Amino acid sequence: MKIFVINSGSSSLKYQLLDMESGSVMATGLVERIGEPTGKLTQKNWPGEAKQAEVEREMPFPNHHAAMHTVVDLVAGQDTGVIASTSEIDAIGHRVVQGGETLFTSVLIDDDVVAKIRANCPLSPLHNPANLVGIEVARELFAGVPQVAVFDTEFHQTMPPHAFTYAIPYELYTELKIRRYGFHGTSHRYVTEQAAGLLGKSLNEVNLITLHLGNGCSMAAVRGGKCIDTSMGLTPLSGVMMGTRSGDIDPAILPFLMKEKKWSMEQVDAVLNKQSGLKGICGMNDMRDIHAAVAKGDKRAALALDMFVYQIKKFIGAFYAVTGPLDALVFTAGIGENDDVTRSRICADLEHLGIQIDQKRNAGRKKSATAVHADQSKVSILVIPTNEELAIARATLGVLK
Ligand code: ADP
């Protein structure tokens, strides 16, 4: 069974071809800068799968349709391909960011599902339209091949109303569906399942705090294997501060800025999404640059890192209070997997919560699941590389079965 996973963004297209029988990734690729004068495609084929291990194309991709055509030509190409023809693809799994309150679980895509994804666009204006383009192009190119939508919001659907409801007039929820949805759900689910296995527990026994720390950062409180709360909300802007996103701020700052700076709603939105977070404080959003700047004595970079660590600690405390006896903290994504300094700083001085990291075990980047807690730590600390594509492929398979 070969599953093609598509994660289509506003100007990018990530893809992966997986062979579910052998469990191997046959090819993985990324098209960047779709719709811009210069575009770039990079595809990595797994050893032995194709004549060329790496394929690179610098060319303009006017739209997603053009990008997908090139991808299909490469994946099934004579020199660059890993399959003889696209007819070998058994199913397609699409990442869709917002399922809203109409799409709770992964689902086979038909016209009705497409209409529901479209209806959820106001809740996710940056992502859902881009995901839809990917779906529409793939349905055209792979007519007859079953396609499944897997939602970022799925894992968080188990949150109880007291966790997902905002304390604003209730009619705004019933009328406009304004509530906490949460994101990165595929990643939180994947590491939750992996963590249960590593801890030797069944899924419904594990209590975890999962920390997806990449450019976007979110945390989830998991009780009995189910998400009961998460840091992101109606949109991926809330929660802990991120690379360029503010995370939680006093909502009154918005009208204050609009009044004092005479900014439009769009300007405020852009500042909070693109010019805030780590970047807003120190001008840098790549954690590697921030560490290098801290080492050189850059005070703003140090402040940005202090804030990042502090906000995550506060969420650990909040989630610890609601998960019940905690089995593990689980770190994942770019920073979570690779940044031992930030992991160490987040876990520092949490001994009173039974959380104690082992510096030697924690040292370095983790390419595979690793326990990094001290022997005496009551709570395990796990680093588990996320694999959203595999999780999407598994969910796709689940729907087809
Ligand atoms: P995205 O949310 O875009 O998928 P990633 O999960 O790839 O992002 O994470 C990107 C973040 O991971 C960046 O802040 C980057 O600096 C950080 N990162 C990647 N490698 C390292 C490393 N070796 N040390 C510290 N941070 C790292």
- Show the 3-state SS of the chain: CEEEEEEECCCCEEEEEEECCCCEEEEEEEEECCCCCCCEEEEEECCCCCCCCEEEEECCCCCHHHHHHHHHHHHCCCCCCCCCCHHHCCEEEEEECCCCCCCCCCEECCHHHHHHHHHCHHHCCCCHHHHHHHHHHHHHHCCCCCEEEEECCHHHHHCCHHHHCCCCCHHHHHHHCCCCCCCCHHHHHHHHHHHHHHHCCCHHHCCEEEEEECCCEEEEEEECCEEEEECCCCCCCCCCCCCCCCCCCCCCHHHHHHHHCCCCHHHHHHHHHHCCHHHHHHCCCCHHHHHHHHHCCCHHHHHHHHHHHHHHHHHHHHHHHHHCCCCEEEEEHHHHHHCHHHHHHHHCCCHHHCECECHHHHCCCCCCCEECECCCCCEEEEECCCCHHHHHHHHHHHHHC
Domain 2-151 identical in fold to domain 202-383: yes
Residue to mutate (ligand 1; options 335, 343, 365; most atoms within 8 A of CB): 335
Domains of the chain: which residue ranges? Answer: 2-151, 202-383
Q: Ligand 1 centroid to 333 CA: how many Å?
A: 7
Residue to mutate (ligand 1; options 286, 309, 362; most atoms within 8 A of CB): 286
Superfamily of domain 202-383: ATPase, nucleotide binding domain (3.30.420.40)
Active-site residue flag, 250: no
Q: Are 250 and 285 in contact (CB under 8 A)?
A: no
Q: Ligand 1 centroid to 176 CA: how many Å?
A: 34
Pocket of ligand 1 (CB under 6 A): 214-216, 243, 286-288, 333-335, 338-339, 365
Q: Ligand 1 centroid to 334 CA: how many Å?
A: 3
Q: Which CATH architecture has domain 2-151?
A: 2-Layer Sandwich (3.30)
Q: Ligand 1 centroid to 213 CA: how many Å?
A: 8
Closest CA to 307 of 276, 281, 333: 281
As a whole number of angstroms, the distance between CA 18 and CA 28 comes to 9
Measured from the Cα of 243, ligand 1's closest atom is 14
Tens-digit pLDDT string for the chain (401 aa): 999 999 988 888 999 999 999 888 999 999 999 999 999 999 999 877 777 889 999 999 999 889 998 998 899 888 888 888 889 999 999 999 999 999 999 999 999 999 999 999 999 888 899 999 999 999 998 989 999 999 999 999 999 999 999 999 999 999 999 999 999 999 999 999 999 999 999 999 999 999 999 999 999 999 999 999 999 999 999 999 999 999 999 999 999 999 999 999 999 999 999 999 999 999 999 999 999 999 999 999 999 999 999 999 999 999 999 999 999 999 999 999 999 999 999 999 999 999 999 999 999 999 999 999 999 999 999 999 999 999 999 999 999 98
- Return the pLDDT at 321: 98
Measured from the Cα of 291, ligand 1's closest atom is 25
Measured from the Cα of 336, ligand 1's closest atom is 12
- Active-site residue identified among 19, 152, 298, 327: 152
Residue to mutate (ligand 1; options 338, 344, 362, 388; most atoms within 8 A of CB): 338
Q: Ligand 1 centroid to 292 CA: how many Å?
A: 14
- Return the pLDDT at 46: 87
As a whole number of angstroms, the distance between CA 227 and CA 222 comes to 4
